Every structure is written in C-alpha cells, then in structure tokens.
Structure 1
C-alpha cells in the first residue's frame, strides 16, 4: 500500500479505564479531511465562553479525570465541582453536535492484568476502525495522546497490520491538541457508562445523553 496517498479521516484517540478492576478503553474521534477547522471553531467558541463565565483560560488543558475531581486551578481559580460538571457536559454537547465527527469506543476487562486489557482494547480499536474503513473504501491516520515513548501503539499496529490505516499512531501531547482533549472527555464519560462507579453516579448517563448519535461502547 502506498502510504503517500492522502487519508480520508484522522482519528484522535485517547484512553481511559480503571486499573484496579482491569477495565481499559480507547475512544477515537474521527474527523474527515478538511473538516477539522469547523470542529475547532466550535470548540474555541466554547472555551471563550468558559473564560467569560468561569475564568478558565482558553489554553488550559482539559484533562477530565483531574478536572472533574476538582484538581487543578485554571487561571489561578478553583471552580466548584458543580461548575466543572456543567463545563464537561457542555463540552460533550459541543462534540455531539458536530455533524462531521464520528465516535468509536472499544473496551475490554482483564481484572488480573490491566496492562493486557489496555493492549487488547487498542487492538480491538484498530480492528474495528480497519473494518469500518474497508467497508467504505477509505483510509485513515491515527493521532494518540503521548510523548513518543509508548511502544504499544507501534507494536500492536505491526501485529494487526490494518490495511486501511497505513501508519502507526502518531503521538501528540494532549496539551497541544484540542482534538485529543475532546477525545479525553468522551473517553472519560464512556468509562463511567461502562463501569458505573457509585462515586461517579452523576456521570452514568452522560455518554448516551450528550452523545446520542455515538454507538454504545463496544466490548472486544
């Protein structure tokens, strides 16, 4: 396959899970080539609104686990948890309202070995995306949160050999990618749709309520 050919989609990928229970999942946001600017405009509008209403700087990294737990002081401020919950739900609404975005979440559970679960979940994501792309005759690139040190992505890519995803995922730090941050908040809400931790009961319905067009997380 000629890897110099253009791709039709770029999937922005982030992980979530609960190591103590062996739950691991990956969420991918698919953006058709050329449509990223309109998605990012909607996201910037939301971030501008957060800055006006809550004082959260537009360049503050949204990391759902920390943000929803009340950690971090964006712009030196400390929004109340209820305000953080509202912001996260507004983020999901913006993501869910983008007609060009597609969402895929794949998960698995290995109670005795979370590292194995993480590998299996990423393998499941690659296979799911490759089947989906093959059905419509398209190709895609992957971008995943990372600093370039994670060998799992290249190893699993070689193992699976996805025909419609010619190259292993490129690792990009979340703090410089709004689309990775968007994938993060979706992955975090998907995690609670599956795990249903009692302490996160308020999040159980977020995935289905705010992302009504997204398929339910798929177990691999």
Structure 2
C-alpha cells in the first residue's frame, strides 16, 4: 500500500476574486529524492542568479518585480530575468521524481465574511479531491499545511495540532495512480 504527502499553500485575494489552494504531492517512496532534487535546484539558483535558498519564490512578488531576491542589484530590476527563472523553477518542479503538482480554485465576487466562507468551501473541495484520489488508488496520505493556509473555520473545535478535516482516508482499488495526470487542476463549482 502506497503513501503520499500533500504540501499545500493558499493563494488569491478578495480583490482578484480568486481562491486557490496549490499543492505538491510526493509519493513516500520518492520523498528523499524529491528534496535532494529541490536542493540541487536551489544551489543552481544561487550559483547562476545569486538567489539563496532562504528566498521565498512567491510568484506575486517574484515575477512582478517586488523585493530583491538576488544578491545582484541589476538582476533584481529585470522582470524578464525573473520570468525566465520562474519558468526554470517550474520546469525543475515538473522533473522532480515522484511529484505531482496541482490546484483547486474558484473565482468569486464574494467579499469579507462571504469570501471567507467560500475559502472554507474551496479548502473542503481540495480535501474531498484528495480523499477521492486516495480512495480510488487504494493509497493513504497526509495533508501538510501552514496554519495560516487553513481557513479559520476549518479548524474551529479541532485540537490545536489538527490542521485539516477529520481523517477520511479510506483506500479503494478502482484506479492506478499511473492512469492519473501529472498535473492536477480542479475548479470547484
């Protein structure tokens, strides 16, 4: 029986109308190879562009020219170089052994509390998608999120250490993981 890790981060804003939960899925048997690959990518970014491993590569800041990710001030002012590096990083992620990337997203006109309720609903949609995947493939998994990533109401009443919905991982046997795409995207209705 196989095991998968899901590392999740949120994106979007009420101003843009987007709610997005992006994730990286790593098979347990590839877990040590994937971080080794990522460390080589980060070492390459340091030697080629002066971007150290502690620099977060958030698209909204990195691609849009905000901040100074490189030790080279001239590089920091060139959006074309930032775009080039973003493409290289995405290509490197696509080559990581045993890794799939994906997102669950919704566009909305909701604001304030209504937006927060929709965030919670999209997060639940993500968890349902993971549950369905695990059930269909007969696998188990764990979702790892930053506390700030989980909508506040998702953890109301939950123990302080729990950051996701109750355990609903029930294996099934109807599909092989090799039949599923490498990049997953679900738009929540």
TM-score band w.r.t. shorter chain:
0.7 to 0.9
Distance 1:21 1:140 in 2: 32
The structure richer in helix per residue is 1
Deviation for aligned residue 1:92: 0.7
Distance 1:160 1:128 in 2: 13
CA contact (8 A) 1:30 1:102 kept: yes
CA offsets 1:97-154 (integer angstroms, 9 cap, x no match)? 2241122311122202322221111010000110110112222111113469963442
Deviates more, 1:79-88 or 1:57-66: 57-66
Distance 1:159 1:82 in 2: 38
Paired position in structure 1 for 2:62: 67
Q: How does 1:24-63 map to 2 (within 5 A)?
A: 24-63=19-58
Structure 1 spans left out of the alignment, 5+ residues: 1-5, 166-211
CA contact (8 A) 1:13 1:26 kept: yes
DSSP-derived class of the 1:57 partner: coil
Distance 1:65 1:130 in 2: 30
Distance 1:134 1:217 in 2: 17
Deviation for aligned residue 1:96: 1.1
Paired position in structure 1 for 2:169: 164
Distance 1:55 1:103 in 2: 26
DSSP-derived class of the 2:5 partner: strand
DSSP-derived class of the 1:71 partner: coil
Deviation for aligned residue 1:40: 1.4
Shift >2 Å, 4+ stretches: 74-79, 145-162, 215-220
Structure 2 spans left out of the alignment, 5+ residues: 171-180
Paired position in structure 2 for 1:91: 89
Compute the RMSD of aligned alpha carbons. 3.0
Change (3 A) 1:61 1:29: same
Distance 2:148 2:13 in 1: 22
Distance 1:149 1:218 in 2: 18
Paired position in structure 2 for 1:111: 109
Change (3 A) 1:92 1:115: same
